[in-house]
Structure 1
Amino acid sequence: MTALDFTDVVLAPVLPMGLVAVLGGMGLLVVLAVLTIWRRPGAWLRALGLGALVCALLEPRLLRERRLPQKDITVVVVDDSPSQTIGNRHHQTETALAQLLEKLGRQPGMDVRVERLSAKGTIAPPDTQGATGEDTHLFAALHRAVADLSPRRLAGAILMTDGQIHDAPRDMKDLPRPLHALLTGHPHEGDRRLVIEQAPGYGLVGHPVTVQVRVEDSSPSSPPEARLTLRHGDEPPEVLAIPVGCSHPVPIAITHGGPHVLTFEVEAGPAELSLANNRAVLTISGVRDRLKVLLVSGRPHSGERTWRNILKADAGVDLVHFTILRPVEKDDYTPLAELALIPFPMRELFEAKLKDFDLIIFDTYGRYNLVPFDYLDNIKRFVTGGGAILVAVGPEFSEGTSLAETPLKEILPVRPNGHLIAQGFKPVLTDTGRRHPVTGTLLESAGTRIPGDASPPWGRWLRQVGAEVQRGDVLMRGAEGWPLLVLDRAGAGRVAVLLSDTVWLWARGYEGGGPHAELLRRLIHWLMKEPALEEDALTAELHGTILTVTRRSLHAQSDPLVTLTRPDGTETTLSLTAQASGHAGTTLTVTEAGLYRLTDGRHTVVTAAGNLDAPEWSALAATDRFLAGPVRASGGGLFWLAEQGLPEVRRIKPGHTAAGTAWLGVKANGDTVVTGLEDTPLLPVLLAVGLGALVGAWYREGRA
């Protein structure tokens, strides 16, 4: 650009300006006196000399600046958030941007700065700024783009977006001026979306919770109802008909402790921009109020306290414990009025309040003609209906008073064979036991083995009841390879049988003891259907962008296959690598935000990447309601590209109208920068003129 010269005179008085003014006034009086009173020749030279000397006191300097004109800068902020991928918005944006840059490039003295928000149809790293897949902070990007610009060079700002932004300013005074908006999409787009209005974070097991949902549809031809599909874990999907535009309650059953993953999906409407906002995922944690456990000990024995201590130590367990101290058949002729015992409340426990319990434990309990078969039949129905029973047996199990000779035999997975083994043995994990979550970690918990000893690193038990396995999974074996711990399912409930009454030896530290607390605690929580202890399960965990898929099974797995359905609907078959303890798994990197569904044919699990309830995914229709206020306050213009096309670009003077029906204006600021400076002192010239004039006046008067 051509450099410009600017000349100016600056003053640096050697005396205060007031004193200089007084001296100048006195000099003026002298000049007037000489000219009017004395009328001597050369008076005008005296006046000239005196004026030059007074001006010399101001020490004037001639300052000459060389200035280079600066180009104005127009900032263009381009929105590349996920909603900009809807329809042809991306094509609209790129086409309009190319044309806009061409028009701005034809303006003399104009530079353009383009700021693009990173495209986030993917899962953004934590330090990414702008559109995070959750919110579109368009004005934050605008302020970053103009932060290092001088206001004297800023010609204006242009936003290219669909209007779905989430940081519209309330204070308009700091906006770049003028601010224009070029909107993609269409002003009256139709779309259906699912809104989760209210959802609890947790719920009590056995008590349903309510999720409030609403279906919004901006299409004028929308029907009054829409079908909503609810998927609750592995359960069959449930289809509901709910009204459009109204809040609707959806009851959710909390059936177990731990996370409940819920997927809501509403059918497509008559006009759809995307189905991404037709889905929602919720996770509700199931919390047990307190596990109610009934422990019935058939007789006082050393292991009774072990069971009691384990159950009382668990803050989530509410224990009711009865010990049979005097069986019915015992007759020592003691009058009943003199016994300090209470009657066993059979009716209250096994009929009236049976459903209040979650788990029943029979500890070395024999039939003893104490509990009628009708009550035992109630217990059988309690278990098959979803309850749980744990039977820890002693010698009584191999006798005629065994619970295996009652209606409970239909749910017990073992039958006693009459053998009672009274010898020391170390419990050994079976192959199934090494894979099962209840016992799979016992070896690690027990510590290291003794060098040279291949036996398990724990102490012996001293008695076991022989039994034949009818069904279920044998996790531990004892003396002579007889089954020791057997788990099974009965209807909707669960059953466990421990064929020894000497587990308490581990608690007492006999021969080093063993992991009794972990074994019994995990056994009880498996019976309570703790999700983390499911032996046959498919899980998916997302940490950042890494998705870990794990398949757990009691049976050997040779690279099982899992089908992965991505948010865009594409399917991928994953081959899992067999690992230790019945696990098989793999990891993969996911970049697209949305729902990932995995299934192995038996189990289905859903996990969500990114925040699907974020505003960026929720509302997808183009709008001007967030930008109209800021644009109007800055004096700019708002244009729909689909209807008005790209407006013309004009240069305007600061303070003038910045937008019209089909044009937008950018300021011509005319800013310059100083590139050179020449400083010429005028004091020598003034002194020479003043002295010369005085000498000339003296010479002239001398000749007169």
Structure 2
Amino acid sequence: MTSSAASIAFDPLLPWEVLLLFGVIGIAIGIAGLARRATGVLWRIAAVAVVLAALANPSLVEEVRRGIDDVALIVVDDSDSQSINDRRAQITAAREALRKRLGTLEGLEVREVVLPPNSLKLGSESLGGTRLIGTLRNALVDIPRERLAGVILLTDGQVHDVPNPIPPELATAPTHVLLSGRKNEADRLLVLEQTPKFGVVGKSVTAKFRVEDSAPDAKGPAPVSITVGSDPPLRLNAPIGRTIEVEIPVANGGANVVQVEVAAGTHELTMENNRALFVVNGVRDRLRVLLVSGEPYPGERAWRNLLKGDPAVDLVHFTILRTPSKDDFTPTRELSLIQFPMRELFDLKLKEFDLIVFDRYETGSIITREYFGNIANYVRGGGALLLSVGPVYATQRSIYRTPLGAVLPAPPTGDVIERGFKPKPTTLGDRHPVTAELPQAGNPAPIDAPADVQRQEPSWGRWFRMVPARAEKGVTVLAGADDKPLVVLDRVGEGRVAQILSDHLWLWNRGIEGGGPQAELVRRIAHWLMKEPDLEEEALRADAHGGRIDIKRQTLADTFSPVEMTAPDGSRRTITLNPLAPGRAIATIQVDKPGLYKFDDGKLKTVAAVGNPDPLEFSDVRATASKLKPLADASGGGMIWLSDVPDPDVRRVSANRIAHGDSWIGLRRNESYAVTGVNRYPLLPGLVVALAFLLGIGLAWFREGK
């Protein structure tokens, strides 16, 4: 629409200061003339005024104006909470109705911006929630304030970035809120108050949570299930609105996935906030290790230094310098004053040790058969035993000939080999995590290599003595001279046993012929004995990284079975693993929903916790008007529930007029325009000014001549 408007403008020929000076002088002369009662003074003043007016150069300016459309901004909240019940349908219907109504209004431009769902990725550490005001601010940057007619927010009211107080830049035009959902909605939700991040393996940690239910007829207690990993769930009843504490057992080192879920309430909006996941990382307390050494030899100090060098190990070390049956005529006063505490170590406090190490121990009457029987029972009950043997293992004084021999996997053959040999991983050793990819071990044969292709030779140094034994049980992971068993691992009952059939491991520590990974090998053996999950020879793991899950399989078998995944919604999917190295395979999948993912390959089971990327979004999903009411009030806008008025009327209102009602919203008329042309007409042309000046001077001269 085009219109015009006229105004008077000045374009002085001299600076305004000079014109003002001339004016003051003229007025002063006029006043002096009037004081003397001179004739013709008024005409002279009139002539001077005409000259000054001409120097001011007045013009009549006519502007040609084109009206500029006002802008109505619609901000649509399409966040995840809009999926509850029919909220998204309400928003869609109101949005279409607004488009039709606004399209009939002249002089109005409509702009829309949408806050999309899933704006955060799984595993994101951002603040989350519905950031509707941030979206509004970004949209207002491109709209001049003089053109903004109003803002219409389509949302359920659960907005998590409303500023307090409302800044002036958000209140320059009426902001109306059209609310989806229903008034006075109710919902049940689970609130985690305390979730420990770490816990000691074998002990329990305390988690705190409460169940909230806003339904008017809510009654407790509410059934709650707590699942740790793939174990059967623990079920209990929780009172409504009261914090309860639960002991969570930390059974494994590493990640222990915990899922807490409460049953649906009588007025349930969504089950998304009825469950919660958290991870307790299991860490081991200080390990208590009992090291019993036989007669001193160079490797004894290597064992002691290795164990004492770990700050997480509490070491109790005894060396048997002389057995009671051995008589070397040493005076009693020169012997140790400390009596060997057999009963305390091998009876009363035996179960307090996490690992028992016998290094070149020779049987005698120091540790009786009864105590060896206690150690065997300790292993069967879940204890850990590491045996490093010397030549005496092949004799009648062998520890194998005690009751402890019942839990040892490799009995001696009675021989001792004393020649140089290089330890090397066996076929199973290349697959076992204790010896797989040991430093300097050389690369194993490729998975798809022909049968005649051999592994690379290790580059570590040789050993020069070993005790041949028959590996009747367990797994041989390192072989020695003539491919005879050198390191054997076995499970006995609930416990574990490891045998090192040589006393030359210390040569690696000394760097003989380049040395070898003594510390790493002992660390892995000890951690395997302590049931470290990462060193399990048969393991299925699933690690979640945001929306990605890495599935890893460790096995001593030649093949890998497919893995069946069960998603949080109950859907199933079969996953084929890709071989990565001997005994190891991996697969990576992408997921788009939070929750507990279960994996099963027919033998092993595991779980992965994919956290909700936006827990704040579902912390309270009840539609509400309270959060956005301050913004509507500050801007002069209104709030309408779409459940009451599905299609509110839209009106144009003048500035400073009420912009809302019970069933209508108003958009302000700003009367903005752009100037498309200007016509200028001089009001005092030169000829007119000259005639007027001469007329004034002439009349003044005429009056003075009388």
Post-superposition shift, 1:44? 8.0
Question: Partner of 2:133: helix, strand, or coil?
Answer: helix
Match of 1:346 in 2: 342
Aligned to 1:691: 693
CA distance in 2, matches of 1:562, 1:339: 63
Q: 1:539 aligns with which of 534, 538, 541?
A: 541
CA 453–163 in structure 1, closer or farther in 2 if over 3 Å, else same: closer
Residues 693 and 533 of structure 1, relative CA distance in 2, 3 Å threshold:
farther
Please say if residues 612 and 618 of structure 1, whose CA atoms lie closer than 8 Å, have aligned partners that are also in contact. Answer: no
| Structure-2 residue corresponding to 1:492 | 494
The one-letter code of the counterpart of 1:209 is V
Q: Check whether the contact 1:291–1:317 (CA below 8 A) recurs between aligned residues.
A: yes
1:544-623 alignment runs, 5 A limit: 544-558=546-560, 560-611=561-612, 614-623=615-624
Kept after mapping to 2: 8 A contact 1:231/1:238: yes
| Conserved 8 A contact 1:10-1:63 | no
Cα distance in 1 for partners of 2:603, 2:456 equals 38
Counterpart Cα distance in 1 of 2:473 and 2:30: 129
Output one character per residue of 1:254-303: Cα deviation in whole Å (capped at 9) or x when no partner: 23432222122222223322222222111112222311111111221121
Structure 1: how far apart are the matches of 2:701 and 2:128?
93
- Note if 1:457 corresponds to 2:453: no
Task: Evaluate the alpha carbon distance shift between residue 326 and residue 51 of structure 1 in structure 2; reply closer, same or farther with a 3 A threshold.
Answer: same
Q: Is the 8 A contact 1:121 1:593 kept in 2?
A: no
Contact 1:289–1:316 (8 Å) recurs in 2: yes
Q: Give yes or no for contact 2:6–2:60 (8 Å, CA) kept in 1.
A: no
Write the deviation string for residues 204-238 of structure 1: whole angstroms up to 9, x where unpaired.
Answer: 23332100011122233433122222221232222
- Please report how far the alpha carbon of residue 326 of structure 1 lies from its aligned counterpart in structure 2 after TM superposition: 1.0
Q: CA deviation at 1:494?
A: 1.9
Other structure's SS at 1:617 match:
coil
1:184 equivalent to 2:180? Answer yes
Give the 5 Å matches for 1:320-469. 320-340=316-336, 342-442=338-438, 455-469=457-471
Q: Could you list the per-position Cα deviations for residues 92-132 of structure 1 after superposition, in whole angstroms to 9, with x for gaps in the alignment? A: 111111111221222221111111112217727979xxxx7
Matched-pair contact (CA < 8 Å) for 1:280–1:612:
no
Aligned partner letter, 1:71: D
Q: Give the alignment of 1:2-401 within 5 angstroms.
A: 2-10=2-10, 12=12, 14-16=15-17, 18-23=20-25, 25-26=27-28, 29=31, 38=39, 48-120=46-118, 123=121, 134-174=128-168, 175-176=170-171, 177-340=173-336, 342-401=338-397
8 Å contact 1:123–1:592 — kept in the other structure?
no
Structure 2 distance, partners of 1:420, 1:108, is: 104
Q: 1:645 to 1:524 in 2, by over 3 A?
A: same
The runs of 5 or more residues in structure 2 that have no matched partner are 446-453
CA separation in 2, counterparts of 1:104 and 1:92? Answer: 18
Q: What letter is aligned with 2:606?
A: V
Match for residue 631 of structure 1?
A: 632
Give the letter aligned to residue 142 of structure 2.
D
Greater Cα shift, 239-248 or 401-410: 401-410
**Once the two structures are superposed, what CA deviation does each residue of 1:14-46 show, in whole Å capped at 9, x if it has no partner?**
343753552453476589799x974x7xx9865
Kept after mapping to 1: 8 A contact 2:528/2:536: yes
Q: CA deviation at 1:683?
A: 5.6
> 1:467, 1:279 → 2: CA distance?
55
Q: Residues of 2 paired with 1:126 and 1:625: CA distance? A: 28
Contact 1:281–1:612 (Cα < 8 Å) also in 2: no
- Residue 48 of structure 1 and its aligned partner are, at CA, apart by 4.6
Partner deviation per Cα, 1:335-363 (whole Å, 9 max, x = no partner): 32231453221122222322322111111
Secondary structure, aligned partner of 2:617? helix
1:346–1:125 Cα change, 3 Å: closer
Partner SS for 2:307: helix
Determine the structure 2 residue equivalent to 1:650: 651
Is the Cα contact below 8 Å between 1:6 and 1:67 reproduced in 2? no
Q: Does the Cα contact within 8 Å between 1:52 and 1:689 map onto a contact in 2? A: no
Contact 1:234/1:603 (8 A) holds in 2: no
Question: Hey, what's the Cα distance between the residues in 1 that align with 2:618 and 2:416?
Answer: 66
Q: Sort the Cα spacing of 1:245 and 1:698 in 2 relative to 1 into closer, same or farther, 3 A.
A: closer
User: Deviation per CA, 1:625-673, whole angstroms, max 9, x where unpaired?
Assistant: 3212222232211122123323211111222212211111111111122
> Helix, strand or coil: the match of 2:88?
helix
Shift of 1:454: 5.1
Checking the alignment, whether the CA contact within 8 Å between 1:540 and 1:606 is kept in structure 2 is yes
Q: 1:357 to 1:410 in 2, by over 3 A?
A: same
Letter of the structure 1 residue corresponding to residue 97 of structure 2? Q
Distance 1:506 1:381 in 2: 33
- In the alignment, is the contact (CA less than 8 A) between 1:48 and 1:693 conserved in 2? no
The 3 A distance-change label for structure 1 pair 32 and 285 is: same
Q: Distance in 2 between matches of 1:527 and 1:507?
A: 22
Q: What TM-score comes out, normalization by structure 1 length?
A: 0.91
Alpha-carbon spacing, 1:557–1:192, altered in 2? closer, same or farther (3 Å): farther
2:120 and 2:128 in contact (8 A); partners too = no
**Which amino acid in structure 2 is aligned with residue 144 of structure 1?**
N
Q: Is the 8 A contact 2:379 2:495 kept in 1?
A: yes
Is residue 31–residue 47 contact of structure 1 (8 Å, CA) maintained in 2? no
- Name the CA shift for 1:337/1:126 in 2 (closer, same or farther; >3 Å): closer
- Secondary structure of residue in 2 paired with 1:8: strand
For residues 483 and 20 of structure 2, what CA distance do their matches in structure 1 show?
119
Corresponding pairs, count: 693
Correspondence for 1:518 among 517, 520, 542: 520
1:660 aligned residue: 661
TM-superposed CA distance for 1:589, in Å, is 2.5
Aligned counterparts of 2:462 and 2:15: Cα–Cα separation in 1: 109
Deviation at 1:696, TM superposition (A): 5.4
1:453–1:197 distance in 2 versus 1, CA, 3 Å: closer
For structure 1, the 5+ residue unaligned runs are none
Q: Cα offset for 1:73?
A: 0.9
Output the CA distance in 1 between the equivalents of 2:455 and 2:346: 48
Say if 1:643 and 1:536 are closer, same or farther in 2 by CA, change over 3 A: farther
Residue 410 of structure 1: how far off its partner (Å): 3.2
| Residue deviations 1:121-151 (CA, integer Å, cap 9, x gap) | 7727979xxxx79321111111111023222
**Is this contact kept in 2: 1:651–1:665, CA < 8 A?**
yes
Task: Say whether the 8 Å CA contact 1:294–1:320 is kept in structure 2.
Answer: yes
Distance 2:509 2:123 in 1: 49
| Identity in percent | 43
> Residues of 2 paired with 1:353 and 1:21: CA distance?
115
String of CA shifts for 1:504-563, please: whole Å, max 9, x gaps: 1222222222222211111111222222222222222334443322111111124x2112
Scaled by the length of structure 2, what TM-score is found? Answer: 0.91
The 8 Å contact of residues 427 and 476 in structure 1, kept in 2 or not, is answered as yes
**Alpha-carbon deviation of 1:681?**
5.0
